[in-house]
Amino acid sequence: MADDKFDSIVVGAGPAGVSAAITMARAGLNVALLERGEYAGAKNVQGAVLYSKMLADVIPEFWKDCPLERAIVEERVFVMTEKAGIQIGYKSADYDAEPANCYTIIRTQFDRWFAKKAEEAGVTLLTGVTISDIIKKNGAIVGVKSTEGDELFADVVIACDGVNSILAQKAGIAREWKSTEVALGVKEILGLPREKIEDRFCLEGNQGSTTEMLGDITKGMLGYAFMYTNKETISLGLGCALDDFQRTNIKPYELLEELKRHPLVRRYIQGATPLEYSAHLIPEGGFNVMPPLYADGLLLAGDAAQMINPTHREGSNLAMAAGRLAGETVIEAKKKGNFSTRTLSVYRKKLDESFVLIDMEDHKDIEDKVRENREILTVYPKLINEAAHEYFLVDGLPKRDHQRRIIRRFRKERGFFRMIKDFMSLRKAIG
């Protein structure tokens, strides 16, 4: 590889990297896409939910051959205690169309398909390549070096190499993340016949359902669980702040096993066959710890740039949008023949005007507020479930007595003024 020179090198064949590579290749740029796995998606662990708009911006009419699992027509939230749960959801047949608002996918299948689209666009895909360092000339980044010592050169490098990006650290614009700034996610893929999935989740054809779960299941740790339907499998997993796992000494796989035994979950996965178990670090610091997104000859996108909106379980859509905008920035820089910090700073302006940084900024303080008030994860789920229990209980007492008991419980556990303060704090954090 020593004598090779590209217009751009993209490191990481995930949603951000492939979106950037395709965008540039379609404009006629010579692009190399490097992936450390033996194939694109080999190292990925995401849930996963795919949002249509951001992919369609890169691959119009992607649904015609993309390996999609189910079109999500129902989204639910469970607020859980040890044995019970409030269930909130929305289901609409309007989402059962092409393209749907979002789909479930198997990332290994999707990433291979997406990378193939990049090759069809003219991108040079190199797999099994682990990048260990950057190459600089006159202060600007002009290439990358592999662990084997091979060197590859380009006018600009786009780092999409995931959480704790080696490239960003080597460039001096990012550091290794603290345990408070990342989460540890674990996931199981559970095999279940298609007809049982559709029966248990009340689905038809390729309709799908997603469930996010909060409350007792995380034992007061900052995090949530999820259950997504695929064609013949269920993705079940959870993620909590890494420092919380360290503080409590709770084992992630033990927490997942408890989740599988919960009354609200057990029935859905009964008789399912475990097919795969995986664990992965997830960026959680978001907007507040986002590193500089550009330097001389370098751009950052996706997990490498902490592009995550955990409040809305979004990450891959932000990555695809950011990757496309990074690609557009390089195209403009190529026309000018200038890849300096000043020229590449246009990337940040593009992101500022997009939903990516607008949403990230609006939700930047939500996790800090929850850390300051962990009763949101423990006391409130308990109180809400107790209130529901009282509301639906028929025991011969007047309804007004049940209402009084609900009010007394809330007053005893929290107090109305404290509840108002908690609500206003969260409301301000959400924006």
The residue to which tokens 């409301």 are assigned: 427
- 429 pLDDT band, cuts 50/70/90, is low
pLDDT at residue 421 tops 90? no
3-state secondary structure 271-314: CCEEEEEEEEEEECCHHHHCCCCEECCEEECHHHHCCCEHHHCE
Q: What does the pLDDT look like over 224-248, one tens digit per residue? A: 999 999 999 999 999 999 999 999 9
Distances (CA, A) of 224 to 1, 255, 365, 377: 44, 11, 17, 10
Strands 294-295 and 298-300: antiparallel
pLDDT at residue 37 tops 50? yes
Q: What does the pLDDT look like over 255-271, one tens digit per residue? A: 999 999 999 999 999 99
pTM to 2 decimals?
0.93
The residue to which tokens 């390996």 are assigned: 67
User: According to the model, what pLDDT value does residue 223 have?
Assistant: 94
**In 10 A of CB 393, how many CB atoms?**
12
User: According to the model, what pLDDT value does residue 253 have?
Assistant: 95
CA nearest to 220, candidates 195, 192, 251, 245: 245
User: According to the model, what pLDDT value does residue 2 have?
Assistant: 42
User: According to the model, what pLDDT value does residue 304 have?
Assistant: 96
Which letter does DSSP use for residue 63 in this model? G
pLDDT at residue 381 tops 60? yes
Name residues whose C-beta falls within 8 Å of residue 250's C-beta, 6 or more positions apart in sequence.
219, 221
pLDDT at residue 1 tops 70? no
Asked whether the beta carbons of 163 and 282 are under 8 A apart, the reply is yes
**In 10 A of CB 44, how many CB atoms?**
20
**Mean per-residue pLDDT for 106-117?**
95
42-51, 127-136, 293-302, 373-382: least confidently modelled range: 42-51
On average, the pLDDT of the chain sits at 93
User: According to the model, what pLDDT value does residue 419 have?
Assistant: 80
In the structure, how many helices (H) and strands (E) does the chain have?
16, 17
Question: Residue 15: enclosing H or E segment and its boundaries?
Answer: helix 15-26
The residue to which tokens 């209980």 are assigned: 393
Burial of 364 (0-12, 13-18, 19+ CB in 10 A): buried
**Mean per-residue pLDDT for 171-190?**
94
**Mean per-residue pLDDT for 277-297?**
94
Distance CA 431, CA 424 (A): 11
pLDDT at residue 3 tops 60? no
Asked whether the beta carbons of 179 and 272 are under 8 A apart, the reply is no
Q: Which amino acid is at 196?
A: K
User: According to the model, what pLDDT value does residue 252 have?
Assistant: 96
User: According to the model, what pLDDT value does residue 310 have?
Assistant: 81
Burial of 405 (0-12, 13-18, 19+ CB in 10 A): middle
Q: What does the pLDDT look like over 149-161, one tens digit per residue? A: 999 999 999 999 9
- 317 pLDDT band, cuts 50/70/90, is very high
pLDDT at residue 426 tops 80? no
34-48, 108-122, 252-266, 285-299: least confidently modelled range: 34-48
User: According to the model, what pLDDT value does residue 256 have?
Assistant: 97
Percent of the chain scoring above 90 in pLDDT: 83
CA nearest to 132, candidates 11, 313, 305, 268: 11
pLDDT at residue 43 tops 70? no
> Higher-confidence residue: 158 or 427?
158
pLDDT at residue 413 tops 90? no
**Mean per-residue pLDDT for 206-218?**
96
Which letter does DSSP use for residue 39 in this model? S
pLDDT at residue 167 tops 80? yes
User: According to the model, what pLDDT value does residue 97 have?
Assistant: 85
Asked whether the beta carbons of 242 and 183 are under 8 A apart, the reply is yes
Percent of the chain scoring above 70 in pLDDT: 97
Distances (CA, A) of 129 to 35, 147, 160: 6, 8, 14
Q: At what angle do helices 399-413 and 375-392 cross, to 10 degrees?
A: 170
The b/e string for 102-131 (b: 16+ C-beta within 10 A; e otherwise) is: bbbbbbbebbbbbbebbeebebbbbeebeb
